[in-house]
């Protein structure tokens, strides 16, 4: 640990609050001035100090003579080092969760399950990247008995860095799919990114890794790790869907019991998220009835796996994000609903780079194999295929809303799925009329 981090951590122990946003209440906080693509946090240092920040951390040498500013070569790296230092002081179980799909849902389920017995810190929202994760680690304090940390990444090396900072005593790998293909540079590199997570456990064999046994690629990464598997089949933590109309009800092997879990999640793919939570629940000795209650009373929000009733229609809203893997799963599950009246509203999948055309084409091929009454495609990439399938295409969500708000659909099941940047949640504004 260098002298700057020692000094900064000494300040943090007296004032254990960190912020990168000077618009927040700043009294008693350490302000990190982060440079972004469209802003420079150094510009807000005077404002942060005026509002009561105890100290600011900057990479701007013009602040060298200000005794309330600590100047460092790289502010983000300093934030990460401070978080790693804080993590070393924590003597509690830390559960790290990563994977292409289901990270946040799994994190929320595990959080609620563990709350039945422990005082738990969990990543807020999706603060899981190179800035958000250190802020999460720095939010853990002496009140917490367990921490649940979500680890995200979109380029090689990031998972290794964030896993090192988190230093999880237990790891959960949900699956490996086609997320951030453009940033990673292809699926092979996606696999390598998750190898970075698994390798932490290959090298730290006292810690426990819990992996999706149904995933084609995850198991191949394990060499020395102490591992347990969850999934459908002959795994340590197993279960099966017994109904999905629309919510997932599943029979789960929990200890020596077979229990029925009635979730509020739609999509059979959520079984694996429930099983991952059951693995942690059993690992942490949560009673079966508490597990059932925690999962059954989790109501998804933030545009993830939500089921809404609107004017006699049932809306399946999963518009926080989309990649080829999650899009395919959502379409296939939606197609299994026992209704003849289905509408799909699908937005472009982003961050696919050179793979965008191919991956959207594969979704179109899938759509040709499933049954529905109406298909509405939104975005530039899907526009390339508007003449290849029976659909209506709209250049963006605003154009779609202008048309859709004058339509009158009743008795339909409606799937809304797309990448966050398509802003499909704006469709919900129609529902308020």
* pLDDT at position 433: 44
- Is pLDDT at 395 greater than 70 in this prediction? yes
- Secondary structure of the chain: what % helix, strand, coil (to 5)? 40, 25, 40
- Tell me if the bond preceding 271 is cis, omega within 30° of 0: no
Spatial separation of the C-alpha atoms in residues 415 and 38, rounded to whole Å? 34
- For residues 286 and 356, state if they share a domain: no
> Contact, 231 vs 239, CB < 8 A?
no
> Contact, 75 vs 33, CB < 8 A?
yes
- Please give the structure tokens belonging to residue 196: 């970075």
- For residues 75 and 94, state if they share a domain: no
- For residues 275 and 326, state if they share a domain: no
Give 267 or 32, the one with higher predicted confidence: 32
- Assign 432 a pLDDT band (cuts: 50, 70, 90): low
Give 151 or 125, the one with higher predicted confidence: 151
Spatial separation of the C-alpha atoms in residues 109 and 298, rounded to whole Å? 7
Listing DSSP states for 387-408 in one string gives TSSS-EEESSHHHHHHHHTT--
Give 182 or 125, the one with higher predicted confidence: 182
Number of domains making up the chain: 3
Condensed to tens digits (0 to 9), the pLDDT of residues 157-167 reads 999 999 999 99
- For residues 120 and 257, state if they share a domain: yes
Spatial separation of the C-alpha atoms in residues 200 and 220, rounded to whole Å? 15
Q: Alpha helix (H) ranges present in 115-210?
A: 132-137, 158-166, 181-184, 187-203
Q: How far is CA 267 from CA 63, 417, 427, in A?
A: 53, 13, 21
> Contact, 274 vs 248, CB < 8 A?
yes
- For residues 33 and 69, state if they share a domain: yes
Q: What is the mean pLDDT of residues 271-297?
A: 98
Domain holding 54, by residue range, is 3-79
Give 311 or 138, the one with higher predicted confidence: 138
- For residues 40 and 70, state if they share a domain: yes
pTM of the model: 0.93
* pLDDT at position 91: 97
- Assign 428 a pLDDT band (cuts: 50, 70, 90): confident
Give 336 or 212, the one with higher predicted confidence: 212
* pLDDT at position 430: 64
The CATH code of the domain that includes 11 is 3.40.1390.10
């Amino acid at each position: 640990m260098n002298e700057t981090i020692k000094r900064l951590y000494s300040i943090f122990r007296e004032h254990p609050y960190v912020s990168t946003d000077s618009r927040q209440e700043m009294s008693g906080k350490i302000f990190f001035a982060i440079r972004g693509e469209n802003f420079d946090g150094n510009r807000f240092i005077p404002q942060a100090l005026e509002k009561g920040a105890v100290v600011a951390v900057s990479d701007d040498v013009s602040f060298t003579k200000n005794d309330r500013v600590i100047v460092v070569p790289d502010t983000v790296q300093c934030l990460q080092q401070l978080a790693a230092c804080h993590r070393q002081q924590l003597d509690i179980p830390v559960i790290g969760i990563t994977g292409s799909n289901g990270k946040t849902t799994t994190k929320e389920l595990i959080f609620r399950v563990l709350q039945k017995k422990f005082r738990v810190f969990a990543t807020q929202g999706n603060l899981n990247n190179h800035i958000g994760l250190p802020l999460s680690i720095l939010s853990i304090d002496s009140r917490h008995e367990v921490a649940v940390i979500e680890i995200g990444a979109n380029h090689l090396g990031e998972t290794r860095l964030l896993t090192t900072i988190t230093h999880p005593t237990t790891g959960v790998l949900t699956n490996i799919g086609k997320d951030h293909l453009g940033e990673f540079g292809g699926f092979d590199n996606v696999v390598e990114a998750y190898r970075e997570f698994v390798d932490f456990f290959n090298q730290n064999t006292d810690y426990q890794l819990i992996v999706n046994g149904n995933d084609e690629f995850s198991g191949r990464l394990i060499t020395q790790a102490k591992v347990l598997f969850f999934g459908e089949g002959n795994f340590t933590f197993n279960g099966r869907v017994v109904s999905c109309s629309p919510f997932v009800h599943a029979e789960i092997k929990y200890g020596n019991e077979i229990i029925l879990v009635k979730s509020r999640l739609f999509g059979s793919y959520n079984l694996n998220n429930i099983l991952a939570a059951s693995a942690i629940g059993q690992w942490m000795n949560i009673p079966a009835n508490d597990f059932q209650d925690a999962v059954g009373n989790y109501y998804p929000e933030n545009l993830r796996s939500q089921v809404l009733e609107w004017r006699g229609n049932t809306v399946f809203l999963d518009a926080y994000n989309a990649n080829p893997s999650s899009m395919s799963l959502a379409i296939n599950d939606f197609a299994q609903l026992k209704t003849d009246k289905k509408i799909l509203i699908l937005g472009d999948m982003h961050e696919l780079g050179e793979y965008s055309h191919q991956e959207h084409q594969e979704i179109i091929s899938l759509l040709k194999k499933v049954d529905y009454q109406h298909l509405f495609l939104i975005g530039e990439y899907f526009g390339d295929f508007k003449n290849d399938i029976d659909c209506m295409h709209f250049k963006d969500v605003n154009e779609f809303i202008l048309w859709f708000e004058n339509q009158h659909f009743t008795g339909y099941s409606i799937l809304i799925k797309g990448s966050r940047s398509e802003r499909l949640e704006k469709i919900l504004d129609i529902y308020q009329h």
